[in-house]
Amino acid sequence: METEQKEFNLMKYFIGGLSLILFAALTVVGYVKASESRQEIRPVISEKNKKCIECHLRKGIAEGGINDWKHSRHAEKGIGCFECHQAKEGEIDAYTHEGFIIATIVSPKDCGKCHEQETKEFTESHHGNAAAFIGSLDNVLGNVVEGPAAADSGCRQCHGSEVKVLPGGKLDPTTWPNTGMGRINPDGSKGSCTACHFRHSFSKAQARQPENCGRCHMGPDHPQIEIYNESKHGILFYANRDKMNLNNPKEKWIAGKDYLYPTCATCHMSATATQPATHDVGTRISWTLRPAVSNKLENWEERRKAMKDVCQSCHGVEWVENFYKQYDNAVTLYNEKFGKPAKAAMEKLLEKGKLTPTQFDEPIEWTYYELWHHEGRRARMGASMMGPDFTQWHGFYEVAKHFYNKFLPELKELDPGLADEILAMPEHSWKKGLSKEEVAKTIEFYQKRYQQ
Ligand code: HEC
Ligand code: HEC
Ligand code: HEC
Ligand code: HEC
Ligand code: HEC
Ligand code: HEC
Ligand code: HEC
Ligand code: HEC
């Protein structure tokens, strides 16, 4: 009995011990799994950075920013406050701060010390130069017709300000805060990386989200995010966001392999199996859809080939070739039927002295501006990114409505000859009346359809 009891007790301890070990092992595995899925990052904090962080936390300055930094790739690699904010004596925006010489603005020049390639590509792109709009019609509208404060809190928050440093080193409040795309920095460099990689996490996953681009690429004059959201591509992205592997490094974020649904970054920036990623968003675009009349860009064939390569990560050749045919046809239709005649008429009005050289002081100038800058862009942009509602109802429909019912009547009043010239074009001959057969066909269609 006694020995049996002993054996039983031993057995109990054995089983107890075993389950304890098992429990501990499972806990460790569980912990590792959980921390993997949370991508827990251990910040490496140098003596210097410890000083910045401890004092800032004590005084409650930028605590949120510090906690955000702690979860970043930079923190893991020991790149802290000082590595980014350090400055040299004599630099225009440098100031002495608790024994350190720092600058508040961390410009592409600073990021570029460690990220040379991204910085070079970005600086050469249209994004890097987005603050250069002084000569544009939009600028007359923003700065003059509306007023400078509208431009500071509006235009320049997307395009970028020219940051001015006040005597003593503080930043001029009319020019900063600002993280517009093409911001002109006190050190002379152009752009702001935080336009897409928000501080202090500086994450590529966040930059790959369509909402990131949609912050600026939206609204009546360039509704790319709205177009994307209504496209099959957008719908698939939102339905599968958690399967997108958005945190993968650039070599392992290959369309069609590592994820299956394209975001804005996929088509305009990210790598394919045969093409490296780029920070120049213009390298895959063939038409420019922004001006009153679209043009093909320099080296457009090469650029188009690069975009087709992206499409073909997921689609077949014929699908892609035919898509481009439809897209080219839509741009050409807008250009030839509406864009070119309207532009030529406006130029002639000015030449003949029937318009003053001052922009936006005559109603037809507003009509024409909206025709190309809002409606005409929407028609072309919808066609470029698979958003048929933008191509049609927000696009060509509005173009046609205002071309025939506003622009032409206003033109006729200023110069009847010019309006008649446009109406004589074969594209506009329908205005003289459809043929008897065409009218009969339409009536028959509706009668059949709605009879039951
Ligand atoms: C002894 C305390 C202390 C230390 C050390 C310290 N800071 Fe500060 N820092 C402050 C306080 C307080 C402010 C807010 C008042 C001001 O602007 O001076 C501030 C402001 C700042 C600002 C400006 C924010 C703005 O809105 O313009 C930056 C940038 C900054 N600190 C970075 C750093 C960096 C980088 C380090 C380490 C290299 C550092 N600080 C070390 C106390 C400190
Ligand atoms: C990877 C580079 C980088 C690192 C690391 C970094 N910063 Fe910054 N910080 C920036 C950038 C970029 C800005 C935005 C300034 C601008 O461009 O307008 C900024 C802005 C700031 C500002 C002023 C803006 C605000 O929101 O008030 C403070 C304060 C600041 N940083 C403190 C810190 C502190 C403290 C640390 C360390 C925990 C730190 N930074 C680490 C890049 C960095
Ligand atoms: C002192 C060097 C240094 C500076 C300055 C620096 N970085 Fe980095 N950055 C790194 C290193 C190292 C990594 C990690 C690279 C890796 O994971 O392979 C990194 C990673 C990144 C990533 C990828 C993050 C992710 O989600 O994986 C981005 C984006 C980034 N940096 C942007 C910036 C920007 C923007 C600035 C300037 C505001 C900046 N960096 C300044 C060294 C630096
Ligand atoms: C919501 C952000 C935002 C605001 C506000 C904004 N823009 Fe833009 N702007 C953009 C984007 C995005 C583009 C590029 C659109 C495209 O390529 O389809 C652009 C394009 C332009 C262009 C054409 C550039 C070219 O190379 O053809 C000019 C000029 C311009 N904007 C000036 C202005 C002015 C002036 C204002 C203020 C009256 C303004 N913008 C307000 C985001 C903005
Ligand atoms: C238009 C938005 C945008 C701007 C502006 C931008 N980036 Fe990026 N960045 C991205 C996107 C999107 C990715 C992910 C690209 C991909 O899919 O490979 C990325 C990735 C990166 C990476 C990680 C690359 C890797 O190894 O995986 C670094 C580093 C980086 N950017 C640095 C910068 C620097 C430095 C600047 C400023 C000179 C900058 N970025 C400006 C959108 C932007
Ligand atoms: C902070 C505002 C802002 C953000 C965020 C932004 N853009 Fe832009 N983007 C602009 C402006 C402004 C322009 C027009 C620049 C010009 O021509 O002056 C532009 C132009 C472009 C162009 C036309 C380039 C060319 O060479 O014609 C493409 C493509 C583009 N952006 C894609 C993207 C993508 C993709 C993202 C996100 C990864 C993004 N943008 C994020 C403001 C922004
Ligand atoms: C499936 C691929 C794809 C996706 C996703 C995509 N685009 Fe595009 N984008 C294109 C194509 C194709 C064009 C037209 C290229 C050409 O003209 O050859 C274009 C054109 C553009 C232009 C140029 C307009 C101009 O003024 O010339 C901008 C800006 C742009 N896209 C921004 C975006 C933004 C922002 C997103 C996300 C909200 C996005 N794109 C999503 C494929 C895509
Ligand atoms: C990462 C994969 C991927 C990439 C890259 C991609 N697509 Fe798609 N695309 C899809 C998927 C998936 C669908 C949905 C297929 C379906 O059910 O019709 C789709 C749908 C489409 C549609 C159908 C739209 C509709 O309303 O029926 C067109 C057109 C299209 N893509 C063209 C393109 C073009 C052009 C490019 C390059 C500029 C491109 N795609 C890039 C995955 C991709």
Tell me the per-residue pLDDT of 103-126, one tens digit each, with 9 for 90 and over: 999 999 999 999 999 999 999 999
Share of the chain above pLDDT 70, in %: 91
**Confidence category of residue 168, pLDDT binned at 50, 70, 90:** confident
- pLDDT for the residue numbered 150: 94
CA of 159 to the centre of ligand 4 (A): 7
User: How far from each other are the two terminal CA atoms of the chain, in whole angstroms?
Assistant: 95
**Confidence category of residue 135, pLDDT binned at 50, 70, 90:** confident
Q: Read off the pLDDT of each residue in 247-276 and give the average, rounded to a whole number.
A: 97
Poorest-confidence range of 27-36, 156-165, 171-180, 214-223?
A: 27-36
- pLDDT for the residue numbered 452: 57
Q: Read off the pLDDT of each residue in 281-293 and give the average, rounded to a whole number.
A: 98
Ligand 8 and 323: CB distance under 6 A: yes
Question: How far apart, in Å, are the Cα atoms of 313 and each of 21, 244, 274, 304, 309?
Answer: 49, 15, 10, 15, 7
Question: Which residues fall within 8 angstroms of residue 425, CB to CB, at 6 or more apart?
Answer: 337, 341
Ligand 1 and 199: CB distance under 6 A: no
Ligand nearest to the CA of 181: 6
Ligand 4 and 287: CB distance under 6 A: no
Where do we find the tokens 């140098």? 46
Question: How far apart, in Å, are the Cα atoms of 318 and each of 312, 321, 322, 386?
Answer: 10, 5, 6, 16
**Confidence category of residue 169, pLDDT binned at 50, 70, 90:** confident
pLDDT beyond 50 at 259: yes
Q: Read off the pLDDT of each residue in 357-382 and give the average, rounded to a whole number.
A: 98
- pLDDT for the residue numbered 434: 86
Q: Read off the pLDDT of each residue in 74-83 and give the average, rounded to a whole number.
A: 97
- pLDDT for the residue numbered 435: 87
Question: How far apart, in Å, are the Cα atoms of 418 and each of 34, 227, 364?
Answer: 72, 35, 14
Give the separation between CA 448 and CA 443, rounded to whole angstroms.
Answer: 9
CA-wise closest residue to 310 among 328, 289, 285: 285
**Burial 29-60, CB ≥16 within 10 A → b, else e:** eeeeeeeeeeeeeebebeeebeebbeebeeee
- pLDDT for the residue numbered 19: 55
Q: 21-74, pLDDT tens digit by residue? A: 555 554 444 444 444 444 567 999 999 999 999 999 999 999 999 999 999 999
Question: Residues 191, 197, 200, 203: what is their CA dihedral angle, to the nearest 10 degrees?
Answer: -150
Number of other CB atoms surrounding residue 210 within 10 Å:
21
CA of 384 to the centre of ligand 7 (A): 7
Contact criterion met (CB below 8 Å) for 284 and 267 = yes
pLDDT beyond 80 at 312: yes
The residue that leads in pLDDT, 378 or 42, is 378
CA-wise closest residue to 363 among 346, 376, 339: 346
Mean predicted lDDT score pLDDT of the chain = 92
- pLDDT for the residue numbered 1: 42
Q: 366-377, pLDDT tens digit by residue? A: 999 999 999 999
**Confidence category of residue 406, pLDDT binned at 50, 70, 90:** very high
Share of the chain above pLDDT 90, in %: 85
- What is the residue with the minimal CA distance to atom 12 of ligand 7? 384
Q: Read off the pLDDT of each residue in 213-220 and give the average, rounded to a whole number.
A: 98
Contact criterion met (CB below 8 Å) for 343 and 137 = no
Contact criterion met (CB below 8 Å) for 248 and 258 = yes
Number of other CB atoms surrounding residue 320 within 10 Å:
17
pLDDT beyond 90 at 154: yes
Looking at the CA of residue 178, tell me the nearest atom of ligand 2: 18
Q: 4-24, pLDDT tens digit by residue? A: 555 555 555 555 555 555 555
To test ligand 4's pocket by mutation, which of 216, 264, 284, 331 has the most ligand atoms within 8 angstroms of CB?
216
pLDDT beyond 70 at 284: yes
Q: Read off the pLDDT of each residue in 143-157 and give the average, rounded to a whole number.
A: 95
Q: 321-346, pLDDT tens digit by residue? A: 999 999 999 999 999 999 999 999 99
- pLDDT for the residue numbered 346: 98
Q: Read off the pLDDT of each residue in 141-169 and give the average, rounded to a whole number.
A: 93
Ligand 7 and 228: CB distance under 6 A: yes
The residue that leads in pLDDT, 285 or 30, is 285
Tokens of 363: 């109603």
Tokens of 353: 């002295």
Ligand 2 and 294: CB distance under 6 A: no
pLDDT beyond 60 at 432: yes
Handedness of CA 412, 416, 419, 425 (dihedral sign): positive
Query: Distance from CA of residue 102 to its chain's centroid?
Result: 31
